[in-house]
C-alpha cells in the first residue's frame, strides 16, 4: 500500500486531479462480486464527489447545472430506494444501478469541464508537444497507432 502524503510533500492541482481521475478509472476496471456491489457503488460515488469537491471552485454554468442535477437525482434516489438508512433493493428502482448511473453522469460532466477549460491539457490530452498520432497503415488488420515526432 502506498503511504499517505505528508505535510512535506506538495502536489500540484494537476497531480491531485489526475490522482482522482486515475482512481475513478481504476474503479471502473474492477470486476466486482455481486455481494460487494453496494460497497463498490458507494466508493465510486464518494470518489466522484471528491473530484467534484476539488473542482468546485472552477465550476462554470454548465457544470453547476450538472452538479445540481446530480444532487437532485441523488436525493430522489435515496428517497425512493432507502427507508432512511437501510437500502430497499426494489423500491422504484435499484439503489446500485441508479447511484452508478447518476455518478457516471456527474463524472462525465466533470471530464467535460476539464476539457472545456484545458485544466489538464498537457497532462491528459497530450497537447503542448509536437507529437503526432497517426494510424500505422500496414497490410495486417491490427490498426496499430504510432506516435511520431515530439520530445515527450
φ/ψ of 129, rounded to 5, equals: -130, 175
Q: How would residue 11 be classed by pLDDT, with cut points 50, 70 and 90?
A: confident
148 domain-assigned: no
Residue 135 is predicted with a pLDDT of 47
CATH number of the domain within which 49 lies: 1.20.120
Contact present, 136 and 145 (Cβ < 8 Å) = yes
Contact present, 146 and 136 (Cβ < 8 Å) = yes
What is the tally of structural domains in the chain?
1
1 domain-assigned: no
30 domain-assigned: yes
Q: Which residues of 128-143 are buried (b: 16+ CB within 10 A; e: fewer)?
A: eeeeeeeeeeeeeeee
Contact present, 74 and 81 (Cβ < 8 Å) = no
6 domain-assigned: no
135 domain-assigned: no
Q: What percent of the chain has pLDDT over 90?
A: 41
Alpha-carbon separation of residue 63 from 43, 85, 139 (angstroms):
22, 29, 45
Q: Model pTM greater than 0.85?
A: no
37 domain-assigned: yes
124 domain-assigned: no
- pLDDT (average), residues 40-60: 94
58 domain-assigned: yes
The residue range of the domain holding 95 is 13-119
Tell me the CB-side half-sphere exposure of residue 2, using CA atoms within 13 A. 4
Asked if pLDDT for residue 30 goes beyond 60, the answer is: yes
The secondary structure element, H or E, covering residue 71 is: helix 61-81
Q: Which residues of 17-52 are buried (b: 16+ CB within 10 A; e: fewer)?
A: beebbeebeeeeeeeeeeeeeeeebebbbebbeebb
Q: Where are the beta strands (DSSP E) in the chain?
A: 132-135, 145-148
Amino acid at each position: 500500500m502506498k503511504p499517505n502524503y505528508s505535510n512535506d510533500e506538495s502536489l500540484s492541482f494537476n497531480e491531485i486531479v489526475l490522482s482522482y481521475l486515475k482512481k475513478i478509472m481504476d474503479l471502473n476496471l474492477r470486476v466486482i462480486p455481486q455481494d460487494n456491489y453496494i460497497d463498490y457503488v458507494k466508493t465510486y460515488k464518494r470518489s466522484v464527489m471528491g473530484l467534484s469537491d476539488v473542482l468546485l471552485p472552477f465550476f462554470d454554468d454548465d457544470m453547476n447545472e450538472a452538479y445540481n442535477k446530480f444532487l437532485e437525482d441523488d436525493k430522489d434516489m435515496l428517497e425512493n430506494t432507502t427507508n432512511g438508512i437501510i437500502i430497499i433493493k426494489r423500491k422504484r428502482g435499484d439503489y446500485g444501478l441508479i447511484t452508478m448511473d447518476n455518478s457516471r453522469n456527474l463524472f462525465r460532466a466533470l471530464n467535460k469541464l476539464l476539457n472545456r477549460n484545458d485544466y489538464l491539457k498537457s497532462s491528459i490530452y497530450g497537447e503542448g508537444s509536437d507529437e503526432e498520432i497517426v494510424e500505422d497503415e500496414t497490410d495486417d488488420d491490427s490498426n496499430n497507432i504510432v506516435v511520431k515526432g515530439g520530445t515527450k
